[in-house]
Amino acid sequence: MPSSDHQWPIFVQDRQGRTIYLTMERWEHVLDHPGMYEGLIDAVLLTIRTGRRKQDNLDPDKSKYSKPFDDLPLEYTHIVVVVKFSEESPQENNFVLTAYLVRKWT
């Protein structure tokens, strides 16, 4: 179980003011990806807050946020966070599906 000092779920806003949340269950899933570790949670949240957003071509309700970092493990250069949006429901339900590290992001 993650030992983060954060209260779950964690809510953040992206650059367009959309509220997005990360659950402990999704964070535990993220930690299964190569190179990901608990100390990257603040970088993942920063990626949502300030990263570049690109809408998925096949699923318009899904977007990927990416941000470069100089201090990632191994030869990774970027964090990518995948967010599912559900803004048409009576209440916004925008949540993190997963996050992972990549060596280069275009």
What pLDDT digit, counting tens, does each position of 46-86 carry? 999 999 999 999 999 999 999 999 999 989 999 999 999 98
- Residues spanned by the domain of 68: 10-102
Let me know if residue 4 belongs to a domain. no
Q: What is the pLDDT of residue 92?
A: 76
Q: What is the pLDDT of residue 9?
A: 96
Let me know if residue 46 belongs to a domain. yes
For 13, phi and psi rounded to 5 degrees? -115, 140
CA distance 106 to 90: 35
- Model pTM? 0.91
Let me know if residue 45 belongs to a domain. yes
Looking at the structure of the chain, the number of domains it has is: 1
More confident residue, 2 or 20: 20
Let me know if residue 1 belongs to a domain. no
Question: Nearest-5° angle of CA 37, CA 38, CA 44?
Answer: 90
